[in-house]
Copies of this chain bind each other. A is one copy, B any other.
Amino acid sequence: MDAKRATIKDVARAAGVGVATVSRVLSGGSASARTRERVLAVAAQLDYRPSALGRNLRQRRTGGIGLLVPDLTDSFFGRLAEGVLACARSAGEPVVVGSTGDDPEQEAELIGMLLEQSVDRLIAVPSGDADAWGPAVKAGMTVVFADRLPSEAPGEDDDSAATADLMLLDGLAPAPVARSADLPAVLADDRAGIRTAVRYLSGLGHRRIAFLGGPGHDRRVAAFREAVGSPVDEELVVFATGSRDSAYAAASGLFQSRPDLTAVLAAGNVLGEAAVLAARELDLRVPRDVSLVMYDDVPWAELCAPPLTVIAQPARDIGYRAAELVLRSGSRRPRGVVLPTELIVRGSCGPRR
């Protein structure tokens, strides 16, 4: 039989003090030097570790952080998660991770699960409506969004106003991000990033630039439309559903239906991968036949043939900052953070053929 873990009572008895004193000593309350010393000695000797269960029940909250991402298989979310984990570790907080598959239904289910666990701090890459977050905030959760904001609820009144507002914030300065239920967020500066990419392609002479997006890329496509300026050819804007297969199908369909396009902006690394694959399959040479810019830098972009020109985002930092935000929410709470992106020119873009 393995001895049960020592409880605070055991420590109290062994140290000849009351449980209240032990609790105080261990959580930094006031106690005489003599008692403190003895309690600590006994606790160390018994290898006592306070049970989070008891504590959490008493304080009616779980210290931990919830993290909801669409897909850990996507390198971007992997890096983001790693950032969250790093920050949480340094704070000694556990992180409960859920993968939503970009499905609002699963997301709602996971939110419910976190609620049941009394997890009161949540970092989320949202898939569902703004409405989906009602239950969470109503239950008193501290929510911080990362990478994206929830799309407008279908029935909301000032539909595009908030989004338009958001698009206005620019540059690197941490800017307030007022939005749905007024929740803070940590985002990459999609607007500047996309604009840079579009300008770069325009500068090379490209006029028919396609946009290849996935779920949750509405801010990016909005930025794309804005950067292009003139009303965009809607056939050149296509969306996949999130799976690799769907991304490939979308890319392939795009190339086939519009052989006149000369450049593609892929809004995420999975889409970029699909674009390269589809182009290769159709014997389109990059960059001779078609130029390609991928939003999000990944290690393999350099290994690709040709190496991919990308817009790099600080994925890990996004996670880290989000964790900081959700942990510091007690004191002054910065409203939101926008982190800079960077164009990294490699070999996948050339002048218009």
Contacts and interface: CB of A to CB of B under 8 A. Distances in A.
A75 interface: yes
A73 interface: yes
A139 B6 CA distance: 11
Contacts of A109: 89
Contacts of A277: 302-303
A78 B75 CA distance: 8
A27 to B, nearest CB: 14
A241 interface: no
A52 to B, nearest CB: 5
A85 B95 CA distance: 13
Given A94-B113, A96-B94, A118 B85 contact: no
A237 interface: no
Contact of A303 (B96, B113, B300): B300
A18 interface: no
B305 A116 contact: no
Nearest to A97: B97
A92 B113 contact: yes
A95 B96 contact: yes
A118 B305 contact: no
Contact of A82 (B57, B71, B114, B116): B71
A106 interface: yes
B49 A112 contact: yes
A185 B39 CA distance: 40
A51 interface: yes
Interface in A52-87: 52-54, 56-57, 60, 62, 64, 67, 71-75, 78-79, 81-82, 85-86
A117 B94 CA distance: 8
B64 A96 contact: yes
B99 A98 contact: no
B85 A72 contact: yes
A244 interface: yes
A100 to B, nearest CB: 9
Nearest to A114: B94
A34 B98 CA distance: 38
A203 to B, nearest CB: 26
Interface string A26-62: 0000000000000000000000011111101100101
A330 interface: no
Contacts of A94: 96, 98, 113-114, 117
B302 A305 contact: no
Contacts of A312: none
B49 A115 contact: yes
Contacts of A332: none
B72 A116 contact: no
A20 interface: no
Contacts of A323: none
Contacts of A113: 92, 94
Given A2-B140, A72-B72, 5 more contacts: A94-B98, A94-B113, A244-B299, A273-B300, A303-B305
Q: List 4 tightest A-B contacts by C-beta distance, closest first.
A: A305-B305, A300-B300, A97-B97, A78-B78
17 contacts: A2-B138, A51-B118, A53-B57, A53-B62, A53-B117, A64-B96, A64-B117, A72-B81, A72-B85, A89-B99, A94-B96, A94-B98, A273-B300, A300-B300, A300-B303, A300-B304, A305-B306
